[in-house]
Amino acid sequence: MVLMVSEEVREAIDARQPVVALESTIIAHGLPRPRNLQVALELEDVVRREGAVPATIAVLDGRPHVGLDKEQLERVANEDGIRKLGHRDLPLAVASGASGATTVSATALLAALAGVRVFATGGLGGVHREWTVTQDESADLGLLARTRITVVCAGVKSILDVPATLQRLETLGVAVAGYGTDRFPGFYLSDSGHPVDWTLDSPAQVADVMRAQDSLDGPESALIVANPVPTEEQLDPELHARVLADALHACEAEGVTGQAVTPFLLDYLVRHTDGASLTANLAAVRGNVRLAARIAAAWAAA
């Protein structure tokens, strides 16, 4: 596999300058056109304003790219047929010459291969509700258990089984810390209702943990920095609870299963909250990207 690292990103890595990896599924599959491209450019600008280099990741014509130029971003945002790629799909996409946007697992893997240590996203995948029946668990968790990268996120998507996901992360040996909080964020919500064991309060503290990971020479697992969306920007908790319950009932009634469940539930939330869930989602992503850039700067300064 030929990993295509942009000149800007390669120069920053070689010079030990801060770099932040960004996924591309939010561009291709998470937002409507033309807002998707506007958000992609905005997130890269947030990284740059914090003094770091953005490295948006995607696969184009079978070649994994770490760092996209504007034309490539436009292609991911506007081209029909852009696939959604997890890390398991990468060899298939490379061999077939396919183009695709990368999920958390594929982004984390390609970022780590390129030498990028910090990655910002919205919410992680996790253990799905009714796991005992469906055995449905995101590939994000297993990949993060064996990939040395720091992921800044707003917890896991609230449509998932949050406590089961936290238990699974513990079993897999993935470190989780709340950023400025002892509560695990709930993606659209500042608090999922579940605690975390560790709290970090500054980018420098996060960088210290990253250095400790390396010095201990333990398993190549990730560090998850769970950064809550600001309370004033979260989705109204009562609205969230009511609409999510309705969405779960609708999902069951319509017989939606497998990979179709997540997009069905997320779309239901957007439509039945009049877009408020999407607004909270974007607020969380912006905050995560900003924090990730500051963490990358603290890591590079070591």
Catalytic residues: 23, 157
Q: Are strands 63-66 and 53-60 parallel, antiparallel or unpaired?
A: antiparallel
Cα of first residue to Cα of last residue in the chain, in angstroms, is 31
**For residue 177, which amino acid is it?**
A
Please answer whether residues 41 and 78 qualify as being in contact, where contact means their C-beta atoms are separated by less than 8 angstroms: no
The owner of tokens 């890269």 is 44
Strand partners, 21: 55, 119
The residue among 217, 215, 182 whose CA lies nearest residue 197 is 182
**For residue 116, which amino acid is it?**
V
The owner of tokens 């594929």 is 106
- In the chain, which residue ranges form alpha helices assigned H by DSSP? 7-14, 25-28, 35-49, 70-78, 90-96, 104-114, 131-134, 139-144, 162-172, 203-216, 237-253, 261-272, 276-300
Burial of 232 (0-12, 13-18, 19+ CB in 10 A): exposed
